[in-house]
Each structure stands twice: as C-alpha cells, then as structure tokens.
Amino acid sequence: MTVGSDTGRLFTLALSILRDEGEAQDAVQETLVRAWRSWDSLSRTDHVSRWLTRVCVNYCISRRRYLRSRGWPLLQMSELAGSPGDPSSSAQIVDMDRAYRRLSLKQRAAIALTYGYGYTDDESAALMGCRPGTVRTHVARGLATLRKELGDA
C-alpha cells in the first residue's frame, strides 16, 4: 500500500474532529483497512488521498454517534499542552480546545477542512457528503459558537 504518507495527515484531521487520540487512531485504522479492502479498484484511480480523507471524515462524524448509541462512557480526551515555555499560548490553546469541544462533529469537520486544511467549500462538501451551503452553515455556526465561548462575541 502506498498510503503511508497520508497516515499522519489523516490522524491529525481525525484528531481535530474527534478530539480523542484513541478514537482518532481508530478512525485512521478503519480508513486504512477499508482502503486495503478496496485497493484493487482504488489503486487504479488518481484520487487515493481524497478517497482516504472522505472515508476518514465520514467515519469520524459517524463514530461518536455510534459510541453514544452504544452507551460507551466518555473517555479521556486528547489534550494539547501548547508551546512549552509560553504560558499564555498554552492557556489560549486550552481555552480554544475547550470551546472547540462545544462544536458538533460536523462543525468541527467543516472548520478543520476549510480552515485548517485549506479545502474549498466545494471540496469540503464532497468530503463530508453534503452541499457546499451546508458546509458554510456548519462553519459559520461553529465560528459563532467559538466567539461566544471565547468571549469574543
């Protein structure tokens, strides 16, 4: 398989959506397993990275729903420490992390894709399996929540 270079990107993307390192690992593993299963057809295309991203994003969005439906307990979330030696930076990141966790998974996915990874609305929509307008709505509502949670409103 030649998807090794995508693994790190998929992991941080999943982590930005799920905010749970273990779940992010699971998401990447599941994505790679699905890729392996479909490799005969997938390897003949030129959009492997996009395919992987789409599978990973959709797994992330559905994963937490699955866990909640199974009644799993909320687990220890991944924490970001911020830059060492910069307490103000650390505090800001912790605040942002707390606010970010208030967002829905789709809002996180939309923000991560468009804002963190530079995908266009159209591209993000294709990855999330929705319309571009829906992506814009998720982003706008997510940012509004962040402003409110961070006291920037």
Partner 1 sequence: MPDVDSRLDRRLRSFLNEIKAQPLPQQLADFKPATVRSGRKVLNLLAGTVAVAVIAATVMVFAIELNGHHGAGSPAPGGKSGATSTPKPTPSILADSSLPTGAKVLIPQTYGTGTETLPTVTLGPNEGIWIEYRCSSNDSTSFSSVVLSGHGVPEFLGPDFRFWLHQFSTPNRCSGTLVTDGGQGGPLSVRFIADRPSVTWMIVVYEYPSRAIAVSNPPPSSTPPSFPGSTPPFLDGPAPAGARVLIHVTYGTGSETLPTVTVARHMPLVVEGGCISTTASGDTLTIASGDPAFNGSIGMGRCYYGSSGGGGGGGAVGSGAGGRLTLRVEAGPSVRWVILVYEG
Residues that bind partner 1 (CB under 8 A): 1, 7-8, 11-12, 15-16, 20-22, 25-26, 28-30, 32-37, 71-73, 75-76, 78, 80, 82, 89, 92-93, 96-97, 100, 111-112, 114-116, 118, 136, 139-140, 143, 146-147, 150, 152
* Cβ-Cβ contacts under 8 Å for 116 (sequence gap 6 or more): 13, 16
Q: Which is nearer to partner 1, 46 or 152 (CB)?
A: 152
What H or E segment, with its residue span, contains residue 122?
helix 121-128
Q: Which is nearer to partner 1, 105 or 112 (CB)?
A: 112
What is the per-residue DSSP string for 37-70? HTHHHHTTSS-HHHHHHHHHHHHHHHHHHHHHHH
Query: Cα separation of 19 and 101, whole Å?
Result: 7
Shortest distance, CB of residue 6 to partner 1, whole angstroms? 11
Shortest distance, CB of residue 129 to partner 1, whole angstroms? 19
End-to-end CA distance of the chain: 47
Q: Which is nearer to partner 1, 29 or 58 (CB)?
A: 29
Q: Could you tell me if 35 and 55 are in contact, meaning their C-beta atoms sit under 8 angstroms apart? A: yes
Shortest distance, CB of residue 34 to partner 1, whole angstroms? 7
Shortest distance, CB of residue 40 to partner 1, whole angstroms? 13
Q: Which is nearer to partner 1, 46 or 88 (CB)?
A: 88
